[in-house]
């Protein structure tokens, strides 16, 4: 079956989740990947959204964390303070799945402003709960479309801590969780170097060459010695994703 780069990205991100994970989900691409995982290889995946829904099993992708679809399908809904204090800060969430406007070579994420904070070129939606998610979840997965505007040498504003300035900077700041362990784009898969924590390309999607990834990245990239090819989507994965997107488009069109 033919597939798009966005479908490859979403499916590759979904594959990283395990059946027993408890996942704090961001809206947009993270939500698509997490719900695809739940519909395919990880039916027992527990999805948690910032609004306080635990164990949400939406039939369509939510428009926001306040979408009624989440509360209606969740096992329970708790208050936002309980969600952050007991569940997140209590270390009960294994994976945080985030996106952003910018990410740098050490996995720091910007979703606040483009340009100088005091006189920004663009003011973005802001942190929401991403700052806390990035420091309190067991590990962080990131899904973003690959471009020079998004993959920058240094973020304009650090909304969410990745590996700081690299090496053991995260630990020196007193943060004990693993931070970003996976970055999935429409071109490749990246993981941090074990020592330097600099993002390293470990897998290229089918049809993508190293030069293409470098052209869309704002720093000199490192590629793994044993650089792999991402397995293409299976028919089951593509069908599940396309059905989910079709249901979502139909449901949201009905509310316009």
How far the first Cα of the chain sits from its last, in Å, is: 32
Mark whether 50 is an active-site residue.
yes
Cβ-proximal residues to 160 (8 Å cutoff; 6+ apart), any chain: 98, 100, 108, 109, 110, 111, 127, 130, 131, 133, 134
User: In angstroms, rounded to a whole number, what is the distance separating the alpha carbons of residues 187 and 196?
Assistant: 23
Which of 50, 69, 132, 237 is catalytic? The answer is 50
* C-alpha distances in Å from residue 55, one per residue of 8, 33, 62, 133: 26, 16, 14, 17
Residues involved in catalysis: 50
């Amino acid at each position: 079956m033919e597939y798009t780069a966005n479908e490859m990205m979403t499916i590759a991100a979904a594959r990283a989740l395990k059946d027993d994970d408890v996942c704090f989900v961001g809206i947009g691409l993270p939500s698509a990947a997490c719900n695809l995982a739940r519909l395919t290889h990880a039916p027992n995946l527990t999805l948690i959204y910032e609004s306080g829904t635990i164990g949400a099993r939406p039939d369509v992708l939510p428009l926001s964390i306040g979408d009624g679809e989440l509360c209606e399908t969740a096992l329970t809904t708790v208050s936002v303070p309980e969600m952050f204090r007991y569940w997140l800060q209590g270390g009960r969430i294994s994976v945080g799945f985030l996106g952003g406007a910018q990410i740098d070579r050490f996995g720091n994420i910007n979703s606040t402003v483009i340009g100088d904070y005091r006189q920004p070129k663009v003011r973005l939606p802001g942190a929401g709960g991403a700052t806390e998610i990035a420091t309190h979840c067991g590990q962080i997965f990131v899904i973003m479309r690959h471009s020079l505007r998004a993959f920058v040498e240094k973020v304009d504003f650090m909304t969410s801590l990745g590996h700081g300035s690299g090496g053991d900077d995260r630990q020196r700041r007193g943060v004990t969780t693993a931070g970003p362990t996976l970055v999935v784009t429409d071109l490749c898969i990246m993981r941090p170097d074990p020592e330097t924590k600099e993002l390293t390309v470990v897998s290229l999607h089918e049809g993508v060459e190293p030069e293409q990834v470098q052209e869309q990245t704002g720093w000199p990239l490192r590629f793994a010695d044993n650089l792999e090819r991402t397995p293409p989507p299976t028919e089951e994965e593509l069908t599940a994703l396309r059905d989910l997107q079709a249901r979502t488009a139909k449901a949201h069109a009905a509310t316009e």
